[in-house]
Structure 1
Amino acid sequence: MMTLTLANDRMSLTLVPEYGARITGLRDRLTGRQWLIPGDLSTDTGSDAIYGADQARGWDECFPTVAPCKHPSWGILRDHGVLWGTAWDVVEASVDCIDTQYVSPDFRFVRRLSLHDATLTADYAVTNRAAAPLAYLWSQHCLLAVTPEDRIALCGCDNLTADELPYDWPDYPRRDLSRIGTASDGFALKSYAMTPAVASAEIVNPDGGIRFCWDGIPAFGLWQSFGGWPADDPVHQVALEPATAAADHLVAAEAIGQAKTVEPRATHRWSVRVTLTAPNRRTQN
């Protein structure tokens, strides 16, 4: 499969248009750190594919759901949505940006990646090409390779909830969620928060970190697996996930009034900035 590269003196990334425009590498060229979970591209990408350990690599876009569900308009939606592992078109590829899109009879999903210094901006647009309103949920799904020296820091997030249990960050029962666990912990948790204004989530490390910033995206998901998922081949990873709803799937998002609806011939737009932070920043305890 063809691979595209976007790079400057500070950051480099690679993506595969034919595989959901997955970003397979995001490297800090100052420190050499590879931030995304590496791995081969799974060939199991059919309509009933499960997003398991073999698929949980790199940076995908979850749309119009994260967890699988049956929706009145969409029908049966597979795990992590319709976009990952599918062929996207390259609209533009230059030294400054990579613009890719997925087009179906019902919608067009566009992501433009542009690089400036230590910041990668991901600009998104979804256009309804159908005759009826289109409901959706979106979540940015960057699976990060983390170490015990890293810490997670959140800003602009309301109180978090996991498994219907509200908690004050980072104090989950019997665990400080800002700290990275080990691969032998057997721990996995998905948390959600609302982000009513400017928000950020980052991995902090004195040797350099990574920060996700957004404004106008209403929710945030935090995925942590420290050897706790899946049962047969557990992984060690973290995902900091700006999202349009604090829900695992589209039906649940509709049930709590958080699903987005784009009208016929209309377009919704949003963006996320991903910044590599410099070494020697103070680690948050």
Structure 2
Amino acid sequence: MTEPSVPAPDAGEARPLTVRTDLALGGRWTSLATPEREWLWRNPRVLEAERAAVAPGDAFVDAGGGEECFPTLNGPSDHGEVWSRPWAADDGEPGLDVAPVSVGGLTLRRRLSADDGVVRARYAIDGPPGASVLHAVHLLLDVGPGARLEVPGRPDVLVVEWPERGATVPSVWPDGDGVSFDVLGPDDGTARCAVVATDRVEIVDGADRLSLTWGVDPGFSAPVSFVVWRNLGGWPKDAPYRSIGVEPLLGAESNLDRAAPHQLAHLDDTGRIGWWLEARAQHVSL
């Protein structure tokens, strides 16, 4: 798999990023950091032992970090099938991680690198020709109440699971049917999730900026977007807390069962599709 090189925005001094993962815990991203800060949030209410004890079919454990959600984000299985299963390293290709999937004969492979301080994730999906999938890189971010999201233009927004579970509301960035998705705080008791039709987003938190870009490999065709989870103390109802998710997505919906065909990624006639994600960090002069 190859991906185009997207130049970093002129936003200040580039800072080197590193990445760590845990294959035993579903290929989970455990760190995305510069020398100055950790970008991934950890839920202080969840013990690592609780996250480690999950088994296929269990409800999602919101431990933080970055979870690989495949072949759906929500819907037929809670955050997909691979976050709760141990991954394996491919002995034949050093640096290649393989996620086992028992649904529909699908296989997800990931190659992560941090060359020149840029973190790159490259994904290959194999399975039955024409199979439909969604794949979200479910990054939960450690950002303050003054943080904001920047995306180019005014892309379409699909607010999901709103105003009730299973419902959707169309909108335009940054409107989330009454909340502003580009502003991430302070806590106001709301929780809203949406799919945003773009291939890039920048997370600005004080003097620091994290830039994410993603796309489909040459030769393949599929929609891409990102999921924003803006939970400012509005979820869960019985014990709400704050969590912010920015989740690059192969597809244009969060629910495999609900999505229309044009909102899904489809494996080609050979039973493959590939896509990529890049992360860059900058320190911004204020």
TM interval, shorter chain, is 0.7 to 0.9
Q: Write out per-residue CA displacement over residues 33-61 of structure 1, whole angstroms, 9 at most, x where no aligned residue.
A: 1111125251452333222xx43411111
Offset at residue 104 of structure 1 (A): 4.5
Q: 2:57 aligns with which of 40, 48, 71?
A: 48
State how 1:228-247 maps to structure 2 within 5 Å. 228-247=234-253
Name whichever structure is richer in strand by fraction.
Answer: 1
Q: Does 1:167 align with 2:171?
A: yes
Q: Does 1:182 align with 2:186?
A: yes
Q: Write out per-residue CA displacement over residues 213-248 of structure 1, whole angstroms, 9 at most, x where no aligned residue.
A: 123452222111111112233232222222233322
State how 1:223-262 maps to structure 2 within 5 Å. 223-253=229-259, 255=260, 257-262=262-267
Q: Does 1:213 align with 2:213?
A: yes
Which has the higher relative contact order, 1 or 2, with Cα contacts under 8 A spaced 6 or more apart? 2
Count of residues paired in the alignment = 252
- Structure 1 residues 206 and 92 mapped into 2: Cα distance closer, same or farther (>3 Å)? farther
- Contact 2:56–2:84, Cα closer than 8 Å, also in 1: no
**Under a length normalisation based on structure 1, what TM-score does the superposition of the two structures give?**
0.78
Offset at residue 151 of structure 1 (A): 1.3
- Contact 1:221–1:240, Cα closer than 8 Å, also in 2: yes
State how 1:127-166 maps to structure 2 within 5 Å. 127-128=126-127, 130=128, 133-155=130-152, 158-162=155-159, 163=162, 164-166=168-170
Percent of residue pairs bearing the same amino acid type: 25
- Structure 1 residues 209 and 245 mapped into 2: Cα distance closer, same or farther (>3 Å)? same
**Under a length normalisation based on structure 2, what TM-score does the superposition of the two structures give?**
0.78
Q: Does 1:64 align with 2:71?
A: yes
**Local SS of the residue matching 1:224:** strand
- Structure 1 residues 157 and 243 mapped into 2: Cα distance closer, same or farther (>3 Å)? farther
Offset at residue 13 of structure 1 (A): 2.3
Q: Distance in 2 between matches of 1:45 and 1:245?
A: 26
- Contact 1:56–1:143, Cα closer than 8 Å, also in 2: no
Q: Distance in 2 between matches of 1:20 and 1:244?
A: 18
Q: Write out per-residue CA displacement over residues 145-196 of structure 1, whole angstroms, 9 at most, x where no aligned residue.
A: 110221111126622231333333224455433222234x21111112323x
Q: 2:195 aligns with which of 163, 175, 192?
A: 192
Instruction: Give 1:116's aligned amino acid.
Output: D
- Contact 2:68–2:137, Cα closer than 8 Å, also in 1: yes
Q: Distance in 2 between matches of 1:65 and 1:247?
A: 9
Q: 2:283 aligns with which of 265, 272, 278?
A: 278
| Aligned residue in 1 for 2:8 | none
Q: Distance in 2 between matches of 1:22 and 1:63?
A: 12
Q: Distance in 1 between matches of 2:195 and 2:91?
A: 34
- Contact 1:212–1:240, Cα closer than 8 Å, also in 2: no
- Contact 1:134–1:264, Cα closer than 8 Å, also in 2: no
Q: Distance in 1 between matches of 2:177 and 2:101?
A: 44
Q: Distance in 2 between matches of 1:104 and 1:161?
A: 28
**Local SS of the residue matching 1:160:** strand
**Local SS of the residue matching 1:257:** helix
Instruction: Give 1:169's aligned amino acid.
Output: W
Unmatched tracts of structure 2, length 5 or more: 1-14, 163-167, 217-222
| Aligned residue in 2 for 1:110 | 109
